[in-house]
Amino acid sequence: MFDWLRRRLRPRGSAPQAIPEALWHTTLAHYPFLAALDRAERQRLRRLASHFLAQKEFQGTSGLVVSDAMALAVAVQACRPLLHLGPPDAPEAALRWYDDFVGIVMHPDEVLAQREITDEHGVVHRYSEALAGEAMEGGPVMLSWRDVDQAGASATQGYNVVIHEFIHKMDLRDGEADGCPPLPAGFMGAPTARAARAAWLKQLLAEYERFREQLIVAERFGGAPVWLDPYGATAPDEFFAVACEAYFVNRPRFLQELAPLAPMFDAFFQP
């Protein structure tokens, strides 16, 4: 890592330093969905990213050396969901959503993870799964640098691995990966936090089932291909993460495909 990033990450928790001007503008230009933010939002994002880098530690694997540009690329995308969640005078307070971990592990490309599940008959099934990212409860976040780097181009498909994994971190704040982050009483008029959660899941699960049906029609009966990443059909928490990717990187298409989720997501991410 270069000296600038070392100063920002060591010691962890020290006061953040300003992101170099040239690096900041180069990073925004690489990710048009971030460059499109208005001036005030870009300033908030820059402050958030600076504090994020002061709190997290990056590690490259398989010979990958994490440069300043690579770390900042992760930081700005990870902070995008938090942009409006902190107070105006201290947006970095929103980073509490990510305070259950420190490490970010970067791989050059996708990795093969060995999985093992036991079915209802007690039979153990072992298989390999290609991963572009993974968020572990209370543990580090793993990311494929290739997918991080190509996020500007893949925004047309509503795909963003960094946002996906950090949405999982937000979902897991209450200890359960179910597609619903912790919600306060009063959210969208709900009298209690429990009622807010029930309303959120009702809407999310309705869209999840609709998406699964669209995917079945596309794959089995030659219907129109789905736009959203098919991985979202594997579980409600994955659907939530996949939908959030699209929400943040390609809002116009998101509104075409998942309009019923927009009021709920707006109320949460842009309170």
pLDDT digits (tens, 9 = 90+) for 97-126: 999 999 999 999 988 665 556 667 666 656
Nearest one of 115, 124, 142, 165 to 60, comparing CA atoms: 142
- Do 12 and 72 share a domain, yes or no? yes
pLDDT of 238: 98
134, β-bridge pairs: 142
pLDDT of 110: 85
Q: How does the average pLDDT of the chain come out, rounded?
A: 91
- Do 76 and 14 share a domain, yes or no? yes
> How many domains does the chain divide into?
2
pLDDT of 136: 87
135, β-bridge pairs: 141
- Do 141 and 200 share a domain, yes or no? no
CB 106 within 8 A of CB 145: yes
- Do 149 and 163 share a domain, yes or no? yes
- Do 166 and 215 share a domain, yes or no? no
Tokens of 243: 């939908």
Residue 224 pLDDT greater than 70, yes or no: yes
pLDDT of 7: 40
Range from 5-19, 133-147, 235-249 that averages highest in pLDDT: 235-249
> For residues 75 and 46, what is the distance between their CA atoms, to the nearest angstrom?
9
Nearest one of 29, 65, 142, 257 to 245, comparing CA atoms: 257
- Do 168 and 251 share a domain, yes or no? no
Nearest one of 195, 210, 201 to 180, comparing CA atoms: 201
Share of the chain above pLDDT 70, in %: 88
Question: Higher pLDDT residue, 13 or 122?
Answer: 122
Domain that holds residue 23: 1-173
CB 217 within 8 A of CB 159: no
> For residues 216 and 225, what is the distance between their CA atoms, to the nearest angstrom?
10
Residue 69 pLDDT greater than 60, yes or no: yes
Q: Of 173, 195, 220, which one is at a domain's C-terminal end?
A: 173
- Do 144 and 24 share a domain, yes or no? yes
Arithmetic mean of pLDDT, 174-199: 96
pLDDT of 130: 74
- Do 87 and 118 share a domain, yes or no? yes
- Do 106 and 203 share a domain, yes or no? no
Confidence of residue 231 (pLDDT cuts 50, 70, 90): very high
- Do 119 and 23 share a domain, yes or no? yes
CB 99 within 8 A of CB 86: no
Q: Of 115, 145, 173, which one is at a domain's C-terminal end?
A: 173
Q: Of 173, 208, 240, which one is at a domain's C-terminal end?
A: 173
Q: Rounded to the nearest 5 degrees, what angle is found at the Cα of 267, between the Cα atoms of 35 and 227?
A: 60
pLDDT of 56: 97
Arithmetic mean of pLDDT, 30-51: 97
- Do 69 and 114 share a domain, yes or no? yes
Least confident of 12-21, 53-62, 143-152: 12-21
Residues near 144 by beta carbon (within 8 Å), at least 6 away in sequence: 106, 107, 108, 109, 110, 111, 131, 132, 133, 161
Place of tokens 């006061």: 15
- Do 138 and 190 share a domain, yes or no? no
Residue 164 pLDDT greater than 60, yes or no: yes
Tokens of 33: 């969905």
Q: What is the CATH number of the domain that holds 16?
A: 1.10.472.150
Residue 2 pLDDT greater than 50, yes or no: no
pLDDT of 137: 87
